[in-house]
Amino acid sequence: MNKIAAIARLTRIEHSAMLIIAVLAGELISGGIPQLQTLALSMITPIFVSMGSFAINDYFDVEADIANRRMNRPIAAGHIKMKEALAVAIASFVIGVAASAFINVYASAIALIFAALAVLYSYRMKEMLLVGNVYIALSMVIPFIYGNFVVASSINYNIILISIIIFLAGLAREIHGMVRDYEGDKKARNVRNLVFHVGERKSSAFALTLYCEAIAISIFMFFFMKPFAGNIFYLGAITIVDAMLLYVAIGSLRNGSSRRFSDMSRNISLGAMALALVVYLISPLLHLAL
């Protein structure tokens, strides 16, 4: 693996595409796409803050990654040195936060806070009961809120509901991740997380409850919240998303100890959330077109 490929793997650059979609959706729903310069800056911030977040996480998490046999992590696999990963993280954070400073004070504050939280999460918060998982779920939500405040000075009601949906689904996905990685995390860091306290089955049941709440809100939006109300595209696409999440949630409850199902469900849930982002972007566009 060459150095560029290792950095791309370290920073999970593919996740940046999902963040860009979320920011665009937040902007579109909250006031419309901004001028080109502001639009470009609003894309730079989430891309680089995300890159820095993944890099610093791998930097602090190398022992757990080795214990969990996650050789797709470039530091654990020896493809990139720890000091190089730290340099990538610092540079990414600086670029991301600096770009937000040219937009407005709201965007700058959001970028700075979440860059700091990313470091705290990787260093310590992930070991605190549910606190680290809540942070990860919030990090999935923040691109919508960030996009909202790029173009507006107050929060849009649709953004609030979408944020709740993404937060609940993201937290549920995090809980499934805890179940999947529990043995390795326990050996490497002696983690006493939710799985340690209540067990795999109850943790999976909690995740199912969170997914069901997210699904209920997504259905509510079809009936009551424009531009999603009565939007047939939204209904069809969000039904697929909801079905994928239910499959993962129910399957995890039944097959919690199966590593094969856990790995498969991780990809399905990621795909469902990626599709949800596209839905929240395209639905308002179709509403405007009509």
Q: How confident is the model at residue 16 (pLDDT cuts 50, 70, 90)?
A: confident
CA distances from 218 to 54, 150, 241, 280 (A): 29, 24, 10, 11
The arithmetic mean of pLDDT across residues 227-248, rounded, is 95
Q: Is 199 left (phi over 0), alpha (psi -120 to 50) or beta?
A: left
The arithmetic mean of pLDDT across residues 141-161, rounded, is 96
Which residues 6+ apart lie within 8 Å of 183 measured at CB? none
219 and 256 co-located in one domain: yes
83 and 106 co-located in one domain: yes
46 and 118 co-located in one domain: yes
Write the CATH number for 218.
1.20.120
Q: Which long-range contacts (CB under 8 A, 24 or more apart) does 228-236 make?
A: 228/158, 228/283, 228/287, 231/283, 231/286, 231/287, 233/279, 233/282, 233/283, 233/286, 234/279, 234/283
231 and 258 co-located in one domain: yes
Could you give the CA distance from residue 49 to residue 93 in angstroms, rounded to a whole number?
Answer: 5
Per-residue pLDDT reduced to its tens digit, 73-100: 888 888 899 999 999 999 999 999 999 9
Find where tokens 């729903």 sit.
29
In the predicted model, is pLDDT for residue 276 greater than 60? yes
58 and 190 co-located in one domain: no
The domain boundary, picked from 100, 127, 154, lies at: 154
Domain that holds residue 42: 1-154
In the predicted model, is pLDDT for residue 34 greater than 90? yes
98 and 165 co-located in one domain: no
Q: Which DSSP category does 127 fall into?
A: G
Per-residue pLDDT reduced to its tens digit, 242-254: 999 999 989 888 8
Range picked from 5-14, 72-81, 107-116, 201-210 for highest mean pLDDT: 107-116
In the predicted model, is pLDDT for residue 259 greater than 90? no
| Secondary structure string (H, E, C) spanning 184-196 | HHHHHHCCCCHHH
CA angle in degrees (0–180, nearest 5) for 77-83-87: 115
Sign of the dihedral defined by the CA atoms of residues 159, 274, 86, 60, in that order = positive
44 and 176 co-located in one domain: no
Joined together, the tokens standing for residue 240 give 């697929």
97 and 230 co-located in one domain: no
Burial of 180 (0-12, 13-18, 19+ CB in 10 A): buried
The arithmetic mean of pLDDT across residues 122-139, rounded, is 83
Write the CATH number for 15.
1.10.357.140
The domain boundary, picked from 108, 139, 154, lies at: 154
Q: Are 10 and 74 in contact (CB under 8 A)?
A: yes
140 and 191 co-located in one domain: no
The arithmetic mean of pLDDT across residues 113-132, rounded, is 85
Q: Structurally, how many domains does the chain consist of?
A: 2
Q: How confident is the model at residue 71 (pLDDT cuts 50, 70, 90)?
A: confident
Which pLDDT belongs to residue 126?
Answer: 73
Share of the chain above pLDDT 90, in %: 62
Could you give the CA distance from residue 257 to residue 180 in angstroms, rounded to a whole number?
Answer: 8
Q: How confident is the model at residue 14 (pLDDT cuts 50, 70, 90)?
A: confident
Q: Are 217 and 152 in contact (CB under 8 A)?
A: no
Which pLDDT belongs to residue 114?
Answer: 93
167 and 266 co-located in one domain: yes
The domain boundary, picked from 154, 180, 195, lies at: 154
| Cα 44 off chain centre by | 17
Considering the entire predicted model, what is its pTM?
Answer: 0.88
134 and 13 co-located in one domain: yes
Q: Is pLDDT larger for residue 201 or for residue 149?
A: 149
Q: At what angle do helices 259-289 and 232-254 cross, to 10 degrees?
A: 170
188 and 139 co-located in one domain: no
